[in-house]
Amino acid sequence: MTTTELLREKMRNPDNFRRPVQIIHSYYPKTAADTEAYLDAAQKNGLGGFVVNMDVSLKRLPDETDEAYKKRSLDAYLGEGTPETDAEWEHLRNFIDACFARGMEVWIYDERAYPSGAAGHKVLEGHPEDQVKGLVCRTAVVGHGKGSLPADSGTLRYAAAYPMDENGIVDTNVRFDIVQNETDLLWNLPEIYSSYRVCAFYTRAINFHTEDKVPYPDLMRADVTDRFIEVTHEAYLRHLGEERISKITAFFTDEPGLPTHGCSSYFYERDAVAAWTETMDGLLPEDMPEHYVDIFFETTGDFAVYRRKYWRCAAELFGENYFGRIAEWCGRHGTRMTGHLYGEETLSMQIGLNADLFGLMRHMQMPGVDRLYASNPRDVIAEKTASSAAHLYGRSSVMSESSFHLEYNWWKIPDEATHKNRMNSTYYQMQLGVTHIASYYGYSTSPDPERLEFEECAARASLFCSTGTHSADVLVLIPMNAAYERFAPPDHKYWDVGPCTVAPYQPETIQKLEKIYGEVLENLENDKLDFDLIDESGLADCSFEDGKIHTGCESFRVLVLFDSAEPEEETAKWIWDYLKNGGSVAVVETDVKTKFVEKIMEEYPNQITRCLSGAITQNCLKMGAEPLLDIIEDCPQVRVRRSVTEDAELWFVHNRSAETEVTIRSAGDYTIFSCEGSESTVKSEGEFRLTLPEMSVRMIVRQKGCGDEVQ
């Protein structure tokens, strides 16, 4: 059977694995009759399945206080041994079995109230010492003479006063003592300098609570994550059994993160906070306490070096000890780890909230993002980070939690809660590599033709985008080292709510980098030159031959570098070897020039171009990349995703705006599918016209031997 024939057959009635699932938590029906009626309605509305979790809705006892009721409710979550909890586990088993009997998907949501990791209150119950920790910077800008500042309650790790110039640069070559008594930090600074930065650095538990308003745990520790797995995943294993767990599509983790301003609705710190856990002491340089000032402020010292070391250490601990351990458990039991983090858009959000978005996603069997809009934003960073991690490590699925949560327009984008916007948002994400939707859109069991269309159209798009291997010519190295060097944890929230490429309240240096990074990715997408992202660790795992980069799953013609920070020694060697092998590099200019880029350009002037972000497409084309589809018109509203099978070439063409008609310059026999289920054919002698209705998708297939050969 050819690829075209296979797609035609499967698109008639897409399977439930491709259809969006609905997040319902513990609000599933409890009786057999209600379950049958509920699932009958779900199937009529086209749903693929449900995301559920065990929880008990308890009746309030007479004269019960709010605190007592809250404690009893938290105890009942994933509880056992009481009539209410035992009955709830039975209800959940029955619902899951009924879904499986109909071929519907079931996912498990791994928390009671986000962010994941606390298991309600069970992870910290009896272990208050395992509350999330932070490195706290208490600081003030002062003049000479005596002064004081209230001391913090944590463990004082280092304190000093430093001269500061008119640009805010801290002179770490000169420091003056600060002393702490029972209540205050005290100093007496000489008249030599007009301005000083007073700094005191503490480590302690951070006042960061979940939506249950309970303290959040330290997820950078393996033993804490193991306890989370024991009270969540292992509880599901005990009560559902190995056979059911192996049929569960995925365990969904929701916004686990590091403590920083903006990480939660319930974050109560006045000072700047950076990620911390006790084991960092043994992993960071012994002199790191003297360099805590470099983490928070631009200094005259090697602050870039210490920032890299610090955030890499945090990223490694968070990745290995939370994501790695949960993903290993899921793999061992025949299911997947999915979900998403908080802080996916800008580079500085990624650092402060999770230390390394791409690095964490490499652990997940189904990387995911959180997109609470239904409109047309410009940014592509979140989806591209998730789908690129999936491509690099051979993951077949990428998830998006999608909803209309923010239709009140905090994000300053048109976000009206309409069916058309919901469909357009889904197509937008699938063109960027998403394959599965976990829906938080409103849902009713009443017959809903729009919901049925959403389910079936999304399923066809998912089926098409999951067929074959993603094919792109450009590989973009994420400028994470430069971001680490420029990021400074603030004492306030530092991004606007919603999708954006720049965190507006961060230092200007990282804002410049974020802007350039976002522009490069957006320009490549608008110009139909698809790409994947990669980090330095991923690049080290790649091979190259005849000038092409091979990840093991894909191949690329051009490597895009940002001239923004010196690469790690291993990365630098890899790039030198790649160039010796005939590789091509497009260097994007930022506000700095590195010695590394200067040297490789001197040695390989014919294999490297240097450009501003606006010229990235032209430079990639010059270096050997080719457009995904030769569309004559200049139409950035039309975006394309390309994949290949052994016998065919496939294009997913999304028109994000008003109806348009484009001319495709290519010969061959084409089959054109719509997400609505229609099909047409085109025989092209050299070019053909394609009509794209408003906010629509056309999925094009050309079998091998029917025109230009598949690359």
pLDDT of residue 137: 98
Q: What is the mean pLDDT of residues 6-20?
A: 96
DSSP-assigned letter for residue 288: G
Has residue 709 got a pLDDT over 80?
A: no
CATH superfamily of 3-125+220-258+331-466: Glycosidases (3.20.20.80)
Euclidean distance between CA atoms 291 and 304, whole angstroms: 11
Token readout for 45 is: 């509305």
The residue type of 490 is: P
Q: Which of 47-56, 241-250, 417-426 has the least mean pLDDT?
A: 417-426
Q: Name the fold adopted by 474-622.
A: Rossmann fold (3.40.50)
The residue type of 129 is: E
- Mean predicted lDDT score pLDDT of the chain: 95
Q: What is the mean pLDDT of residues 340-359?
A: 95
Has residue 384 got a pLDDT over 60?
A: yes
Distances (CA, A) of 179 to 138, 143, 197, 271, 294: 14, 17, 15, 19, 20
Bond prior to 285 in cis (omega within 30° of 0):
no
Q: If pLDDT is split at 50, 70 and 90, which confidence band does 416 have?
A: confident
Q: What is the mean pLDDT of residues 698-706?
A: 89
Q: If pLDDT is split at 50, 70 and 90, which confidence band does 710 have?
A: very low
pLDDT of residue 272: 98
Has residue 494 got a pLDDT over 50?
A: yes
Token readout for 482 is: 């430069």
Q: What is the mean pLDDT of residues 611-639?
A: 95
Token readout for 69 is: 């009721």
Are the CB atoms for 647 and 640 separated by under 8 Å? Answer: no
pLDDT of residue 458: 98
The 10s digit of each residue's pLDDT in 262-317 is 898 899 999 999 999 999 999 999 999 999 999 999 999 999 999 999 999 999 99
Q: What is the mean pLDDT of residues 333-349?
A: 95
pLDDT of residue 214: 97
413 burial type by CB count under 10 A (0-12 exposed, 13-18 middle, 19+ buried)? middle
pLDDT of residue 408: 46
Token readout for 243 is: 């056979």
Has residue 61 got a pLDDT over 50?
A: yes
Has residue 124 got a pLDDT over 60?
A: yes
Are the CB atoms for 375 and 413 separated by under 8 Å? Answer: yes
Has residue 164 got a pLDDT over 90?
A: yes
Q: If pLDDT is split at 50, 70 and 90, which confidence band does 704 have?
A: confident
Has residue 220 got a pLDDT over 60?
A: yes
pLDDT of residue 711: 42
Q: What percent of the chain has pLDDT over 70?
A: 97
Q: Which residue has the tokens 């005596």?
A: 146
pLDDT of residue 116: 98
Q: What is the mean pLDDT of residues 63-85?
A: 96
DSSP-assigned letter for residue 122: T
CA atoms within 13 A on the CB side of 185: 24
**pTM, rounded to two decimals:** 0.96
Has residue 409 got a pLDDT over 70?
A: no
Q: What is the mean pLDDT of residues 101-105?
A: 98
Token readout for 607 is: 């294999």
Q: Which of 103-112, 249-258, 261-270 has the least mean pLDDT?
A: 261-270
Are the CB atoms for 95 and 36 separated by under 8 Å? Answer: no
The 10s digit of each residue's pLDDT in 310-339 is 999 999 999 999 999 999 999 999 999 999
The 10s digit of each residue's pLDDT in 653-674 is 999 999 999 999 999 999 999 9
The 10s digit of each residue's pLDDT in 428-483 is 999 999 999 999 998 999 999 999 999 999 999 999 999 999 999 999 999 999 99
The residue type of 447 is: P
Q: What is the mean pLDDT of residues 106-120?
A: 97
pLDDT of residue 332: 98
Q: Which of 304, 306, 274, 312 is nearest to 291 (CA)?
A: 306
Domain spanning 638-707, CATH class:
mainly beta
DSSP characters over 129-145: GGB-EEEEEEEEEE-SE
CA-based angle 212:214:219, to the nearest 5?
105
Are the CB atoms for 585 and 477 separated by under 8 Å? Answer: no
Q: What is the mean pLDDT of residues 88-102?
A: 98
Q: Where are the domains of the chain?
A: 3-125+220-258+331-466, 133-205, 474-622, 638-707
Strand ordering across the sheet containing 555-556: 543-545, 548-550, 555-556
Euclidean distance between CA atoms 322 and 334, whole angstroms: 19
Q: Could you tell me whether strands 558-563 and 584-589 are parallel, antiparallel, or unpaired per DSSP bridges?
A: parallel
Are the CB atoms for 59 and 103 separated by under 8 Å? Answer: no
Has residue 154 got a pLDDT over 50?
A: yes
pLDDT of residue 445: 95
The 10s digit of each residue's pLDDT in 631-653 is 999 999 999 999 999 999 999 99
**E strands within 632-678?**
638-644, 648-655, 660-664, 668-674
Euclidean distance between CA atoms 125 and 231, whole angstroms: 11
